[in-house]
Amino acid sequence: MDENCIFCKIINGQIPSTKIYENDYVYAFLDIMPVNKGHTLVVPKKHSKNLLEDDVEDLKHCVEAVQKIAPAIVRAVEADGFNLGVNTNKAAGQAVFHTHFHIIPRHEEDGLRPWPQRKYDEGEIDPVKEKIIKALEK
């Protein structure tokens, strides 16, 4: 645990939360600033800064919890689907540096739109592919 981490404090009961699920590895609670009602955060109990620092076993437990919790949220709030989000680092919108998965219930007419998509310019896609493949070798 990280004594300065707000999610660690929530897991330890030092800060109140609206817990909806807990097991030996995972703690899930309603986001206090939801995108839509039912927006839930699923966090590993073991502290890690972000998804890239987590043990694979901890991530496995988080994904299993998401598979259990998400359908229940969808039923409970009568949603049409859900988005699963993981923000990694500040540039991607991570505000709390403890790995967490957002389960965001979605309704057909909720007015939310996915992020904008862009096209590659002519001849641009292959150099990007090559850079990624090279980076995987490191």
Which among 92, 105, 107, 115 is positioned nearest to 34, based on CA atoms? Answer: 105
Structure token digits, residue 38: 């039912």
The answer to whether position 127 is within a domain reads no
Q: How confident is the model at residue 113 (pLDDT cuts 50, 70, 90)?
A: confident
Q: What pLDDT digit, counting tens, does each position of 63-97 carry?
A: 999 999 999 999 999 999 999 999 999 999 999 99
Name residue, tokens 């965001």.
Answer: 104
What's the structural domain count of the chain?
1
Residue 19's closest CA among 40, 50, 46, 3? 40
The tokens for 3 are 């004594």
Does 91 map to a domain?
yes
pTM: predicted TM-score of the whole model, two decimal places: 0.91
- CA gap 89, 126 in Å, rounded: 27
CATH of the domain at 17: 3.30.428.10
Classify burial at 74, counting beta carbons within 10 Å of its beta carbon; exposed 0-12, middle 13-18, buried 19 or more. Answer: middle
- The proportion of the chain whose per-residue pLDDT surpasses 70, expressed as a percent, equals 100
For residue 45, being part of any structural domain is answered with: yes
CA 5 from centroid of its chain's CA atoms: 17
Q: Which of 47, 100, 102, 107 is catalytic?
A: 100
In a domain, 130, yes or no: no
Contacts of 45 (CB under 8 A, 6+ apart): 11, 24, 25, 26, 27
Question: Is the pLDDT confidence value at 1 over 90?
Answer: no
Give 106's strand partners: 81
Catalytic, 39? Answer no
- Domain of residue 66, residue span: 6-113
Q: Give domain status of residue 60, yes or no.
A: yes
